[in-house]
Amino acid sequence: MLDNFPRGTICIEDIEMGMTRYLRKQITDRDIELFAEVSTDRNPVHLDDGYAQDTIFEGRIAHGMLTAGLISAVIGEQLPGHGTIYMSQNLKFLAPVRPGDLVLAEVEVTDIQIDKRRVKLDCRCIVEGQKVLVGEAMVMAPSRKFD
């Protein structure tokens, strides 16, 4: 048995259907600037007020993958947590996230394959009660047993 998992990690043996975890984060100008720097995605719709004003969004928006990164944070830090391996993720972007928006990122267990350590998660991000991102992830959860 392994007992050295960080606090908050949920091993496959303890995951249950319907289990949910979430985080809330307000998206800041600094978040957008740092994401642009790290990703090298400097599309002016994210960084230039004047440019973004003349787009269908009528103002700057956060990178879609910045918002999706909040889903990754919930998976990697809470459910299942440290030691989780991403296998797949699909996403549908429904509405823009803007600087100043408070995003609720949430994941919910929808399927468990204990023998393969697989967990399917429904993923969503919500701003002011409106879904802005939905999707599904498949991950490999940590286990207390050796393979």
φ, ψ dihedrals at 125, nearest 5°: -125, 135
**How confident is the prediction for the chain on average, in pLDDT?**
94
User: Is the confidence at residue 3, as pLDDT, over 50?
Assistant: no
pLDDT confidence of residue 147: 44
Mean pLDDT, to the nearest integer, of 10-23? 97
pLDDT value of position 144: 87
Mean pLDDT of 107-118: 97
Confidence of residue 25 (pLDDT cuts 50, 70, 90): very high
* pTM beyond 0.85: yes
Residue 81: burial class (beta carbons within 10 Å; 0-12, 13-18, 19+): buried
CA separation for the pair 14, 1 (Å, rounded)? 14
Reading the block at residue 26, the tokens are 């307000």
Query: What tokens were used for 123?
Result: 């993923």
Q: Where are the domains of the chain?
A: 12-27+67-140
Percent of the chain at pLDDT > 70 equals 94
CATH top-level class for 12-27+67-140?
Answer: alpha beta
Give residue 64's pLDDT: 98
- 44-73 pLDDT, tens digit per residue, is 999 999 999 999 999 999 999 999 999 999
Does residue 1 register a pLDDT over 60? Answer: no
Q: How confident is the model at residue 141 (pLDDT cuts 50, 70, 90)?
A: very high
pLDDT at 2 over 50: no
**Residue 6, pLDDT score:** 53
